[in-house]
Amino acid sequence: MATKAYILIKVKAGKTKDVVKALKTIGGIHQVHPCFGQPDIFSFIEVNDEKALSDVVISKIHTIDGVEETDTHIVAEA
């Protein structure tokens, strides 16, 4: 079963548009929504497993210029 998660992203001032653009190029990310308030961006991802999720967050999202912090919430299947 695929791993689904919401990734909440805090961004440096003035970098939101650039971060949104970069997030949209990452495989598995299905939704990216910049918002007013904290966090700055809500995104939704679906990947093969938790290792793939960790790889995307650490290797791809955290390396985007302007990303300060992420908060990942794995969806619990009911």
**Best CA proximity match to 9, nearest among 58, 53, 31, 42:** 42
Q: Which domains does the chain have, with CATH numbers?
A: 3-74 (3.30.70.920)
Does the pLDDT of residue 28 top 80, yes or no?
yes
Tokens of 16: 């939101």
pLDDT at residue 77, as a whole number: 79
pTM value is 0.94
What's the angle, vertex CA 47, arms to CA 22 and CA 18, rounded to 5? Answer: 10
- pLDDT at residue 1, rounded to an integer: 79
